[in-house]
Amino acid sequence: MDGLVVANYGSTSLVEDGQGQLSLCTSRKSTGRIVCGDRVTWRSTGNAEGVIEKRLDRRTVLQRHDSNGKSRPLAANIDQVIVVSAPEPPLDRYLIDRYLAAAEIISATPSLVINKMDLLDPTGIRLMQDRIREYREIGYQVSFTCALSGKGVEELSGRLKVGILVGQSGVGKSSLIKRLLPDRDIAVGTLSDASGLGRHTTTTTTLYHLPGGGDLIDSPGVRDFRLRDVDPVALAHAFRDFRPFLGQCRFHNCRHDREPGCALSIAARNCEINSRRLKSYRNILHS
């Protein structure tokens, strides 16, 4: 049968069938790594258990690199990447840039959410708006939310196909999802608790169906989301604001890293692009 992987921990996955029934599955070695959002063919072994036999082709896969440089798939078949930040833990624009670039590279639509807005007084709100203005200017949608009161949260689910919430641990990703699933148990969470997967809730990526349609994936906090081994051409293109200037450098193979006649350096000097974003690009290039 066909199924959708709604949670995964190591070689154990929760697979949902066409009727919404969940089974705890192991996977054959031959399937390769299975992640949340994967479409699979699987066989039931009874008792809400089964075996994944094959992973179907992925439309997209969001990868991350851990501190020793190994790449790990985080989730598959994603349309939207929602980068969640908050006043606390402190906003990290370089981290935001890496998530945005990772989303652009897989052609998913990125957007930003600033959660925990209740922590800010009017002056703090104004300062926060100043700090994220650059993203609005580039054309990214920015929403402000409070997961505790639910303020601004409902808008997040609008026009969602398959989205993933990413961002530092503690910014409120899981709280936002709980808000969007108001009157029902988080069924997957409950089942993964019963099965023992729940012991790993902080390290398990989980997909939820929203009542209004669309799916949202909760991912564990990644302290340091890295991008590695990205081709410089693809990386420059992943900085959406750079695109109008690409192809205008003196050298056709310019890496936009202090080369003379670099159109991006010139654009930054003329304030046509944000020099912080160029620095962010160069940080990734050198990592």
Range 97-116, binding Mg ion (CB under 5 A): none
Measured CA to CA, the distance from residue 112 to residue 86 in angstroms comes to 10
For β-strands 162-166 and 80-85, DSSP reports them as parallel
- Shortest distance in whole angstroms from residue 72 CB to ligand GDP: 18
DSSP, collapsed to helix, strand or coil, labels residue 181 as coil
Q: Pick from ligand GDP, Zn ion, Mg ion, none: which does 170 bind, CB < 5 to 8 A by kind?
A: ligand GDP
Asked if residue 89 has a cis previous peptide bond (ω within 30° of 0), the answer is yes
The torsion angle over the Cα atoms of residues 192, 196, 198 and 203, rounded to 10 degrees, is -110
Binding characters for Zn ion, 200-239, by CB under 5 A (x = yes): ----------------------------------------
Which of 128, 147, 262, 273 is in the footprint of Zn ion by CB under 5 A?
A: 262
CB of 117 to ligand GDP, least distance (A): 7
Could you say which of Mg ion, Zn ion, ligand GDP, none residue 217 binds, taking C-beta under 5 to 8 angstroms by partner kind?
none
Closest CA relative to residue 269, chosen from 243, 245, 238? 245
Residues that bind ligand GDP (CB under 6 A): 115-116, 118-119, 146-148, 169-175, 221
Q: Which is nearer to ligand GDP, 220 or 232 (CB)?
A: 220
Q: Which DSSP symbol is given to 67?
A: T
By the rule CB under 5 A, 204 interacts with Mg ion: no
Q: Report the distance separating Cα 21 and Cα 3, nearest Å.
A: 10
Judged by CB under 5 A, does residue 219 bind Mg ion? Answer: no
C-alpha R_g of the chain: 20
Query: Among residues 8, 85, 145, 174, which is the contact residue for Mg ion, using CB under 5 A?
Result: 174
- Give Cβ neighbours of residue 71 (< 8 Å, ≥ 6 apart): 63, 64, 65, 228, 229
The footprint of Mg ion on this chain (CB under 5 A) covers a number of residues equal to: 2
- Interface with Zn ion includes 267 (CB under 5 A)? no
Contact 236, 281 (CB under 8 A): yes
Is 205 among the residues that bind Mg ion (CB under 5 A)?
Answer: no
By Cβ distance, which residue is nearest to ligand GDP?
Answer: 172
Q: What are phi and psi of 33, to 5 degrees?
A: -65, 130
Residue ranges in contact with Zn ion by CB under 5 A:
249, 254, 256, 262, 264
Residue ranges in contact with Mg ion by CB under 5 A:
173-174
